Amino acid sequence: MIDFVRGQVAHLETEYIVVDVQGVGYRVFCPNPYAFAAKGEEPVTVYTHHSVREDAILLYGFSTREEQKLFRRLIEVSGIGPRVALGILAGGTPEKVVSAIQQENLTFLIKLPGIGKKTAQRMVLDLKDRLDGFAAPALGGLFDNNAAAEAELDGGGWREAREGLEALGYTEAELDKVWMHLKEDLQPGEPVDLLMKRALKVLYKG
The answer to whether residue 67 sits within a structural domain is: no
pLDDT above 90 covers what percent of the chain? 41
Q: For 163-178, write each residue's pLDDT tens digit.
A: 777 777 777 777 777 8
Boundary of a domain, candidates 122, 139, 156: 139
Decide if pLDDT at 138 tops 50.
Answer: no
Query: Same domain for 92 and 54?
Result: no
Residues 134 and 91 in one domain: yes
Greater model confidence, 27 or 39? 27
Q: Which among 41, 62, 83 is the end of a domain?
A: 62
Q: What is the pLDDT of residues 81-131, one digit of tens each?
A: 999 999 999 888 888 899 999 999 999 899 888 899 999 999 999 998 888
If one counts the domains in the chain, the total is 3
Domain of residue 54 covers 4-62
Residue 35 CB-half CA count within 13 A: 22
79 and 23 housed in the same domain: no
Mean pLDDT across the chain, nearest whole number?
A: 82
Mean pLDDT score, 176-193: 75
**Closest-CA residue to 142 (of 203, 100, 204, 90):** 100
Residue 186 lies in a domain: yes
Residue 150 domain flag: yes
54 and 95 share one domain: no
